[in-house]
Amino acid sequence: MSDSDGVHRRDVLKAGGAAAAFGLGGGSYLTSLTDAGDVSDMGVETFVGQDEVFFSSCAPNCRGRCPIQVHARNGRVKKIEPGVPENEAYKRACTLGLSQTQRVYNPTRLKYPMKRVDWSPDDPNVEGRGEDAAFERVSWDEALGYIAAKMEETREEYGPKSVYFESGSGDYGTASNHQARLAALFGGTQMDWSIDINVGQGFRRVSGAGWFNVATNQATDLKNANTLIAWGGDIFASRLQQDASKMLDAVENGAKLVVVDPVYTGTAAKADLWLPVKPGKDPHLALGMIHTVLDEELFEADFLRKRTLAPALVGPDGKLLRAKDVVPGSDADKPVAFNEETGEPEVLEPETFGPYALGGEYTVGGVTGRVALDFLRDEAAKHAPEDIAETVGVEAKNIRKAARWLGTRGPGGVVPGLGVDRYKYGHIFGQAYATLVALTGDYGRSGSFQGGYFNGTGISTGDYSAPEGSKGVSKIRQTKILTGMESGDPYPIKVMYAQESNFVANQLPDRQRWLNAAKNLDLIAVADMHHTPTVQHSDIILPAAHWFEKEGVTSPYTHPHVNYREKIHDPLWESKSDFWIISHLAERLGYGDRFLQTKREELKKMLEADEYVDYETLKRQGTVEKPTPVVKYTDEFDTPSGRLEIYDEDAPSEKGQTLEVPKHVESRTADDWESADDYPLMFMQKHSKWRIHSQFGYQQWLRELNPEPQLDINPVDAEERGIENGDYVRVHNDRGEMIVRAKVNEAIQPGLVNTDQGWYTSDYIRGHHNDLTHTDVSDVTGNFSFYDVRVEVEHAPAEADTSKYEEKQPTGAKATGPGVGGD
């Protein structure tokens, strides 16, 4: 093929013999057995052959980061099994990880560097991007030359920050470190997240810790919990590899499992108590539990006195009284409490117990202060379970039961998923549940849990990603990446180089807004293994190697190991490792001397900064367990006071409410929302057990089980609209629409609908689930609120073409499922 030959998107995806590489049995394999005569005469050992077994690790954006063993024969992967980490308690794998044999040899693999036929450095022709774009094959030299030249041109005209280096969550190996190093040398921009940071930021205001959810005790300590509240996460679907098994260990040991979720999930089915909270009412519910703990005096008073600001005195201005102002002779700029034994104010030092008052008003140093815990009592008093039961959709007796279990049964806690993050004001829930487990003393002890990220580890790389002498990276939130592309706020974004990411055309909210904003970019270059929607909207395509085709290291931040990946065979077709791509791009940009010649040399260099992991040991063992605390939060907290700040004197505000203590605030989930009559149904997009975001959805084994997107809708809502199970429906609002098959489902509550997220554009009859979402964010956190979405549902129009699902359902391992080709 000459470089000038036009290749349309289906040509990019031709299997080129990849189907034969799946390693599946098939008819010829069975025939060879049945025609062979007496098996005893044929030499079974010779027929079966001998596998080589390699160390590797999964590391897409899931919690497992499981070590795996890869069996290969004649240079081809045949089978995946769970690997055995140094700490065997973390030996796990899941359906997705075991299907990697299909992923590495999937027909959607990108094979060659490509250029959009109607893109040129002088005329980007942005209208040519999209579903109908055609691509032509180019050499690696040409592709990298185009990218480097456009980056340099953009740096000259707009400054280096106008070049955006995006690294998504497709693989938590070291590729993002290599890209970050180049971005720092160049002086470019990288994203700071606007996804799944709501709850963690709210928790952080109380404890000083938390961002992407919250780190907590190691998962192996779950067996020591007596009460666990799994809140807003379907652990037995989306966290199956490590977390689910450990939670079941707790249940088998007698723990009470409470599940808070608007959907009756697989996790809820395992629970002792399911609290079917209405969408967005989670802070209400948490405050109802706080009311119960305070009202029934279930709190750990000694813990509150020693490790929290509960006894701190608050002045008339809402600020904490300071020792320097009210304690004679003291110059300490620290909060004070009232000592009930001495009748005097006392400095509240971190981790220091005293007989401090936990209620009332006291005049000290001529100033009257009120005990901080009383402010929480006042707010909680508005949320008695009997008063909020109808609002939150949970019976009062069950709200109290959950709180009593947490407050009376010993160690326990809250294990939040990422569901509540996806409401606009989800950070208030983070503040609320951090306060709840403070009241019950569930910090810093075995069996107590405060977050959903069980304590793990990663490699320490020192200054690798920000090397000495580099210009440094400008990090801005994804919300600002969007406005930078649209209007130049805070500065123009003109070039995007993305790797391991399917964000722009598939995973970000208000997808059409992102695609329109991207028209202001002169170049979109994407390095990926597979033909994703984001690849389809690019100008330059770079085929990246699967991790079986390159040496690597992974960092499982939810268990205490570093994992090694052996290279099993060379990259297929013309694909290259991300390190190769980045280092060769760096060479063209003048930074080639800042990268070593081989990935192995680079890995050894990176690991030099880690005192616990050396390359040779890791390579020999496959995993190294790093010293990692089993129990978190045993020392003073990383807050200004060193204590849990259940009263926040520097609190932000939301909609006129100042959040010194948690107060319920809602967005589109409010019953009186302005468009509630037009769009009466809340729309969520929960995680699927068959995908990790948009990964794995094109693998045939999994596609047989999960062939097309569906809309979960309660029978009550379906009947009101004349919808029956299996009908195709149009889901719409003022931003967009999608057409999918309806699944009438009693597990979903009335007023709520769901389509599992991650599906490609081509999987829909029309539209896309992220054409319905929006980019309205809280000023406090800037976190995208995917679940704060309203829609209406009706029958699909008669002209909707549903034939691809009605006529071509997958029926076997070799069948071509809809969308499996990626187009």
Give the global pTM.
0.91
| pLDDT tens digits for range 314-335 | 999 999 999 999 998 899 999 9
Instruction: For residue 34, give the 3-state DSSP assignment.
Output: helix
Q: Residue 24 and residue 102: Cα distance in Å, rounded?
A: 9
Confidence at 250, pLDDT banded by 50, 70, 90 = very high
In the predicted model, is pLDDT for residue 44 greater than 70?
no
In the predicted model, is pLDDT for residue 25 greater than 50?
no
Lowest mean pLDDT among 27-36, 716-725, 757-766: 27-36
pLDDT at residue 579, rounded to an integer: 96
- Report CA 297 to chain centroid distance, whole Å: 37
Lowest mean pLDDT among 39-53, 408-422, 574-588: 39-53
> Could you tell me how many residues make up the chain?
823
- What are the start-end ranges of the H helices in 712-771? 715-720
Confidence at 807, pLDDT banded by 50, 70, 90 = low
Query: Closest Cα to residue 733, out of 709, 759, 768, 707?
Result: 768
Q: Which two tokens stand for residue 26?
A: 């098939």
Q: What is the mean pLDDT of residues 445-474?
A: 94
In the predicted model, is pLDDT for residue 24 greater than 60?
no
Q: Which two tokens stand for residue 663?
A: 């107060």
Beta-strand relationship, 653-654 and 623-625: unpaired
Q: Residue 243 and residue 245: Cα distance in Å, rounded?
A: 6
In the predicted model, is pLDDT for residue 811 greater than 60?
no
pLDDT at residue 199, rounded to an integer: 97
Mean of pLDDT over the chain? 90
pLDDT at residue 240, rounded to an integer: 67
Other beta carbons within 10 Å of 630: 14
| pLDDT tens digits for range 499-542 | 999 999 999 999 999 999 999 999 999 999 999 999 999 999 99
pLDDT at residue 701, rounded to an integer: 84
Radius of gyration of the chain (CA): 28
In the predicted model, is pLDDT for residue 808 greater than 80?
no
Q: What is the mean pLDDT of residues 775-802?
A: 97
Q: What is the mean pLDDT of residues 153-165?
A: 98
In sign, the C-alpha dihedral spanning 518, 519, 522, 527 is positive
Confidence at 666, pLDDT banded by 50, 70, 90 = very high
First to last CA, the chain: 22
In the predicted model, is pLDDT for residue 14 greater than 90?
no
Cβ-proximal residues to 601 (8 Å cutoff; 6+ apart), any chain: none
Q: Residue 494 and residue 481: Cα distance in Å, rounded?
A: 11
